[in-house]
Structure 1
Amino acid sequence: MLKAERVQYILDKLQSLYPETPIPLDHSDPYTLLVAVLLSAQCTDERVNQVTPALFALADNARDMARQDVDKIQQIIRPCGLSPQKAKAIKRLSEILVEDYDGEVPQDMEALEQLPGVGHKTASVVMSQAFGEPAFPVDTHIHRLAQRWGLTSGKSVVQTERDLKRLFPRDAWNRLHLQIIYYGREFCTARGCDGRVCEICRTCYPDRKHPKKTRKA
């Protein structure tokens, strides 16, 4: 199967499996999404969704969060891991939003990336899921599957993002990034598939004899 054929097959297959793509992190607006995505670093979405109700009951906007004590934030988010760093980042980014953006989350990739605790992936998620701007956030699932499906060499997440943006139509990026995550969690997991087990891997590479070794993000 040629790469162009793999790309079309993957698009069609994922659309048939996941015609709806709800955002896995519970949120009510760009600010609560930003905080939830920050908390999801090295933590499952399920755990974040268990923690954020208490956090957002304390403060669900930048102005209220900026007034909170770091220790109080940390106590709530402790189950998410890395709580000292995340608590400081949440408080400081909230202060910056109040000081520089009237308490609102900027609809600008570069401005988002300048916020404490917010890297390129987090900013991309907010731009795509909160503002509907085309972006292709690459997490560990996407990085792994893109290699298994022959869409990138996976030397880095930066390259994986660049390759996927080049291969897939711009208007599919926001939907597709979630569809790949869903598929990776359900069918093509790190331990459940080695590049020869799930339907997409078998279809794209029916003659693959050995496990596909993937580069870590």
Structure 2
Amino acid sequence: MANILIAGATGLIGSHLVQQLAPDRVDEVLLLVRRPIAPLHAHHHQWVSDFMPLALPPVSDNADAVICALGTTIKQAGSREAFAEVDFGRVLDLARAAKQAGYRRFVVVSSLGADADAGNFYLATKGRMEAALVALQFDSLTIVQPSLLLGKRSTFRLGERIAQVLFSGLSFVFIGPLRTYRPVHAEDVASVLIRVALDGQLGCRRIPSKQLIAAVS
């Protein structure tokens, strides 16, 4: 079995990754955190870093993988610049450190609609991040592009709360072409992230939200 490094372990998707990566799935889980957190399993270890600069321990096996679930919002970050520092800068810092440490597999959470040329700053930043990761030429790069996420966050996000209400009461709305935008549960995204990190597929692939939902249906 492989070892998995998780960045963003305290976030909505990251917390599900930690819960789902039990000892029967991987040898070791390395949590990249800014401050120590309580581990769930004995095989969970922590690598505390503030990303200035970031260096990771060398990999022990070619099957080892990084799952990046780092992310924020412009409102939560406080400005466009601060948002880009996390969703572009820190993700790229992590990817470069992973390459330096010998990781060949990288899995990242992006966003449905990510496009470097998008008029929307959030989606353009995600698109730039994706392009930068592709340029690093990992042996295996998987970019997961969920729609609005369903799940309980530690911080309130109005857009996602509205989506939860719509999805619970008006799920029939997301049919036909609109199915592409159907919200997806964070725990399902985590499940797919783990699956693709361990499946050994080489090359670059993108998994949009519609395929995420189909993969767990």
Q: TM-score when scaled to structure 2? A: 0.22
Structure showing the higher helix proportion among its residues: 1
Larger radius of gyration: 1
Structure showing the higher strand proportion among its residues: 2
Q: TM-score when scaled to structure 1? A: 0.22
